[in-house]
Structures are given as C-alpha cells and as structure tokens.
Amino acid sequence: RIILGMVALFIEKPESLTGFQQLVPRVFQVYLKQGSKLRAELCTMLFSGGMDADLVSRIREEDLLVTQEFFWSAPGMKLFGGHPDLHDPAKLQAIVEAALAQQPAIVVAFLQQLRARASGPEVDG
C-alpha cells in the first residue's frame, strides 16, 4: 500500500515527488511484478486517473517501459500519461524541452509510441 500511495502522489504531482522514480526498476522486480495483484492495482489507479488505456495495458503486460526511470519522470509521466498540456502547443514544447534536458530517451520513446499509435493495426487487403 505504501508503494501505491507513492505512485498516487507521484501521478498527482510528478514534478514535486521524485522519490518513486528512484525506486525504478527494483520496485517492478520485487513488488510490482508482472501479473501481481499490486501491478493490477497500479494499472487500475493509472487508468482511473486518466492515463491512456493502451499505455495502461503496456504497463500491465510489459516490463520494458515501466522499468525505465525516464518513464516515471515528471516529463515522462506527462508525455506518456496523456496529460492535458499535450494539447497546448506551447506547453507541449516546454514538456519536450524539459524531457530533452533531463534525458533524450524520454522523447525518443514518446515519438516511438506516437508512431506506433499513428500507424495503427495493419489491415490485410
């Protein structure tokens, strides 16, 4: 419950609570293992908080993204979490600049996600 409490605080105010990021990746190797009850609760909390359903599904089923510290950074949570600021060009630019300053891999992963979403499922004709 302490871990989920930290996640809840981090989601609410990612720029002011950086402690959860320091627990990654170990927290996912020990407490939030794939398929665990806590991981399922985490995903429910993220989805209820407005995070994109496809991203929550990736968090539930994959370790690759969630075990990256950059994902849990303030810019990472805004970029990957569907934050309302993404719809404001000036605010999006500020988020991307913050992500680039912190760790360029955040932006690369975000662009890969956008590309995958834009290409959608392939349809056989």
Nearest to 57 by CA among 37, 40, 77: 40
Residue 87's pLDDT is what?
92
CB 32 within 8 A of CB 38: yes
Residues 66 and 28 sit within 8 Å (Cβ to Cβ): yes
Per-residue model confidence (pLDDT) at position 125:
46
Q: What is the pLDDT of residues 25-40, one digit of tens each?
A: 888 889 899 999 999 9
pTM (predicted TM-score): 0.65
Nearest-10 crossing angle of helices 2-12, 37-48:
20
Whole-angstrom distance, CA of residue 112 vs CA of residue 99? 15
Write the DSSP assignment of 39-63 as a string of letters: HHHHHHHHHHTT--HHHHHHHHH-S
Average pLDDT over residues 59-82: 83
Q: Across the chain, what does the average pLDDT equal?
A: 82
Helix (H, G, I), strand (E, B) or coil at 14: coil
Q: 94, 103, 29: which is closest to 66 by C-alpha?
A: 29
